[in-house]
Amino acid sequence: MSTITVHLTSADGATTHLQCRTGQSLMEAAVAANVAGIEADCGGLLTCGTCHVYVRAPHAATLPPPDADESAMLDFTAAARQPNSRLSCQIRLDESMQGLAVDLPASQH
Residue 29 binds ligand FES (CB under 6 A): no
Q: Return the DSSP state at 92.
A: B
6, 18, 30, 51: residue in contact with ligand FES (rule CB under 6 A): 51
d(C-alpha 13, C-alpha 7), whole Å:
12
Please give the full DSSP string across 17-57, using - where no structure is assigned. EEEEETTSBHHHHHHHTT-TT---TTSSSSSS-TTEEEEPT
Q: Where are the alpha helices (DSSP H) in 23-67?
A: 26-32, 59-62
Of 7, 10, 44, 79, the one binding ligand FES by CB under 6 A: 44
The least CB distance from residue 69 to ligand FES, in Å, is 9
Out of 4, 6, 18, 27, point to the residue binding ligand FES (CB under 6 A). 27
DSSP single-letter state for residue 97: G
Residue 105 contacts ligand FES per CB under 6 A: no
Among 40, 63, 91, 104, binds ligand FES (CB under 6 A): 40
Examine residue 87 and tell whether it contacts ligand FES (CB under 6 A): yes
Residues that bind ligand FES (CB under 6 A): 27, 40-42, 44, 46-51, 73, 87, 89
